Amino acid sequence: MAAAASSSVSLKLLIDTKSRKVLFAEANKSTVDFLFHVLSLPVGTVIRLLGKQGMVGCLANLYESIESLDETYIQPNQSKDTLLKPRAPSSAAASIPHLSLNDGLTGTGKAFYRCDYGCSRYVTDDPRAVCPSCQRTMNSVMNYVVPPQTSDSKEGGFVKGATTYMITDDLEVKPMSAISSIALLNELNVKNLSALKEKEVDLSMNEALKLLKESLESKTVLTSVFLDVKSEIP
């Protein structure tokens, strides 16, 4: 399989047409950055993206309990949105422009305030707090400054872009080489090489959400998302 040099979010699948299974995918930096970014998403964001009906187990019930809980039961310095609409951390995720799974909610996760009298020793996350020094309300919003990228990380994201990566059906990610590809084919007991077919697919928001959901439920994520077992493989 040829090296992936494009910055688009796409995958080149290697499919066993006989078993109708994705053996692995060839991916570039952008795709791996996106998949790794999924790990930084707060649980509340995942539930909101997938929809409560799309969640397994009881997490959806927990989310709905917070939604329906009356504000009178919430501490005055807390907001339900902290749990229902949490912000993913900034860091490397901020430079993954192709797909945004956190609705653009990046940063520190909170707003911070100080008093507007010039007292710089105190900070709070509650705009109703009183400054211990001047007794004024601390409702002046502070601006969060994102640290500049270092000279050796101008690419942004999580992984380096000079490498092609292999993603297995169960989402194991590793640097790709001819040796690793052959080793995986042997491990999967692939005998008929003529039954193998390549297929390039784009990772749209729809597929991204399917990947996120299947990763919580399945060990054959790529096959579940990208192969329709009822239709012919083109």
Q: What is the pLDDT of residue 2?
A: 40
What does the H/E/C string look like for the chain? Answer: CCCCCCCCCEEEEEEECCCCEEEEEEECHHHHHHHHHHCCCCHHHHHHHHCHHHCCCCHHHHHHHHHHCCHHHCCCCCCCHHHHCCCEECHHHHHCCCCCCCCCCEECCCCCEECCCCCCCCCECCCCCECCCCCCECCEECCCCCCCCCHHHCCCCCCCCCCCEEEECCCCEEECCHHHHHHHHHHCCCCCHHHEEEEEEECCHHHHHHHHHHHHHCCCHHHHHHCCCCCCCC
Q: What is the pLDDT of residue 151?
A: 53
48, two tokens: 């909101």
Q: What is the pLDDT of residue 212?
A: 84
Confidence of residue 101 (pLDDT cuts 50, 70, 90): low
Domain boundary assignment for the chain: 109-143
Confidence of residue 16 (pLDDT cuts 50, 70, 90): very high
Q: What is the pLDDT of residue 102?
A: 47
Separation between Cα atoms, residue 205 and residue 68, nearest integer Å: 29
Q: What is the pLDDT of residue 148?
A: 64
Q: What is the pLDDT of residue 150?
A: 58
Q: What is the pLDDT of residue 7?
A: 46
- Summarize pLDDT for 167-219 with one digit per residue, the tens: 999 999 999 999 989 999 999 888 888 999 999 998 877 788 888 888 888 89
Backbone Cα Rg of the chain: 23
Separation between Cα atoms, residue 44 and residue 85, nearest integer Å: 6
Mean pLDDT of the chain: 79
Judge whether residue 62 has pLDDT over 80: yes
Q: What is the pLDDT of residue 203?
A: 82
- Summarize pLDDT for 108-125 with one digit per residue, the tens: 556 788 988 877 789 988
- Summarize pLDDT for 33-59 with one digit per residue, the tens: 888 887 777 888 788 878 877 777 787
- Summarize pLDDT for 113-170 with one digit per residue, the tens: 898 887 778 998 888 889 998 998 988 888 877 666 555 556 677 788 889 999 999 9
CA 161 to chain centre: 18
